[in-house]
C-alpha cells in the first residue's frame, strides 16, 4: 500500500508542476506575425517608408514614435526592417 501512495503523491506533484509551468506567460523572441524585410528605401512620406524588396515589390512601412530607427536612413539606402502585422515597423536599420 505504501508504494502505491508514494506513486500517487509523486504523480500528483508532477501534474501540479506541469500545469503551473504551462500557465506561466511567455514572451516570444519574435512576436507572432513579425517578419524581416530588407531592400532599397525609395521614399519617405511622413510616417511612411516605401522600400523595394528583394522581389522588386514596393512595400509600405508605417513608422511612428515607437519605431526604433538606427542610422538615419535616406532615400537610396539599403535598409532592414522588422515589420509587424499591418505594416508597422518596430525597427529599421541602414545596411
pLDDT tens per residue, range 36-94: 999 999 999 999 999 999 999 999 999 999 999 998 999 999 999 999 988 999 999 99
Reported as a pLDDT band with limits 50, 70 and 90, residue 29 is very low
Cβ-contact 70, 94 below 8 angstroms: yes
pLDDT of the residue at 18:
64
List the chain domain ranges: 35-94
Cβ-contact 59, 36 below 8 angstroms: no
Please count the other Cβ atoms lying within 10 Å of the Cβ belonging to residue 73.
Answer: 21
Report the distance separating Cα 38 and Cα 51, nearest Å: 8
Report the distance separating Cα 94 and Cα 15, nearest Å: 49
Residues β-bridged to residue 69: 92
Entry pTM: 0.65
What's the CATH fold of domain 35-94? OB fold (Dihydrolipoamide Acetyltransferase, E2P) (2.40.50)
Per the document, the length of the chain is 95
pLDDT tens per residue, range 7-20: 777 777 776 666 65
Amino acid at each position: 500500500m505504501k508504494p502505491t501512495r508514494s506513486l500517487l503523491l509523486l504523480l500528483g506533484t508532477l501534474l501540479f508542476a506541469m500545469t503551473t509551468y504551462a500557465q506561466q506567460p511567455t514572451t516570444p523572441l519574435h512576436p507572432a506575425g513579425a517578419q524581416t524585410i530588407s531592400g532599397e528605401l525609395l521614399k519617405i512620406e511622413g510616417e511612411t517608408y516605401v522600400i523595394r524588396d528583394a522581389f522588386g515589390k514596393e512595400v509600405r512601412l508605417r513608422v511612428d514614435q515607437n519605431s526604433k530607427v538606427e542610422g538615419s536612413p535616406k532615400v537610396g539606402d539599403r535598409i532592414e526592417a522588422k515589420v509587424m502585422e499591418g505594416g508597422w515597423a518596430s525597427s529599421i536599420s541602414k545596411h
